[in-house]
Structure 1
Amino acid sequence: MPFIDDASRPRVSGSVELTPRQRAGGDHLRMIHDHFRHELEALTRAVQSLQDGAGDVDAVRAGVHGLAPSLTAQQVAGMCGQVCRFLTMHHSIEDQSMFPAVATLEAYAPVAQRLAEEHLVVHAHLELVDDLALAVRSHPSRVGELVEAVAALRADLESHFTYEETEMAEPLGLLGLGV
């Protein structure tokens, strides 16, 4: 699977000073990403709990939010599917509206292009996580693969989110784009 290479990313941020009002789009993007960070943290706990109880999947007590009574392999698969669908939807919206608008600003076009390319890497991660979550339902011995896939997804997605938050705040503010 390809991975996200931080060192080869184009950088533009810091070239303009934004007003508090102009920073609103970047702040909102960060809040959306923080929601996904929270969901991925819960997913990580769920798959790790599933792994801890892999010998008796029905007895898994995940406590995803500290309150959930139990998560079976089927419930974890559903959770994976939900996270994957919402992230795909979020990236589709960015690809179809935000990045084309940002690309109209010449200096930020390479950043928008790079972020769109990274969405393909993240999508590959999401497909693997979803496939493994479904596989674990009938083959609990594959839960270790799912744990590793979720960890890889989180690492690349966190890198992607941080880059996007840093590099997109300025063009969002300059263009007056909401997220």
Structure 2
Amino acid sequence: MPPIDDATRPRVAGSVELTPRQRAAGDHLRMIHDHFRQQLETLTRAAESVRDGAGDVDDVRAGVHDLAPSLTAQQVAGLCGQVCRFLTMHHSIEDQNLFPAVATMETYAPVAQRLAEEHLVVHAHLERVDDLALAVRSDPTRAAELVEAVAELRTDLESHFAYEEAEMTEPLGLLGLGV
């Protein structure tokens, strides 16, 4: 799947001066994304651990937040599923609530549309990562594919987050929408 093309994204941010209170929704959005960024880092390390053969059934660790550098393939699959569920929920909220409201503002409507389109790309990545995580449980030779898929997900998702943070702070603040 081709990566998200930053050059084709509509850019409108910077046209309005926001008060600190109006910037709060954008700051909150960034904090949510930072949590996902941490999960992506954990997922990356976990996939690399399985690829490198450091993860095995005897290395089961308690809890995703206390992950050591080595995880079992089963734990990686579970972590992939967790990231996918939470990210899907986050994007569903944006698609159903935030983007339609932002799209009522003519200037920002192309940004809302583009972000919704990017959600489809991100979710295609998530499905690929989830499928590979499950496949690695029965075929460890596919671990390198999983690492590559996680890297591609991470690249596009981090790009998506940065774009959304830059472009959505203004409309969220102007509309008084909380995240």
TM-score normalised by the chain length of structure 1: 0.94
User: Match for 1:23: what amino acid?
Assistant: R
**Which residues of structure 1 form unaligned runs of 5+?**
none
Work out the CA distance in 2 between the residues paired with 1:101 and 1:135: 40
Residue 29 of structure 1 is matched in structure 2 by 29
Does the CA contact (< 8 Å) of 1:49 and 1:62 recur in 2? no
In structure 1, give the amino acid aligned to 2:134. Answer: L
Amino acid at match of 2:167: E
Letter paired with 2:15: S
**Residue range with higher mean Cα deviation, 133-142 or 68-77:** 68-77
Judge conservation of contact 1:59–1:70 (CA < 8 Å) in 2: no
Counterpart of 1:100 in structure 2 is 100
- Aligned residue identity for 1:57: D
Q: CA deviation at 1:42?
A: 0.5
SS at 2:22's partner residue?
Answer: coil
Distance apart, 1:59 and its partner CA: 5.5
In structure 1, the residue matched to 2:117 is: 117
- What TM-score comes out, normalization by structure 2 length? 0.94
- Deviations 1:66-103 (Å, cap 9, x if unpaired)? 65485211111000110011111110110000000000
Contact between 1:132 and 1:145, CA under 8 Å: does it hold in 2?
A: yes
Percentage identity across paired residues of the two chains: 80
Q: What is the RMSD of the two structures over their aligned residues, measured on CA atoms?
A: 1.9
Matched residue count: 178
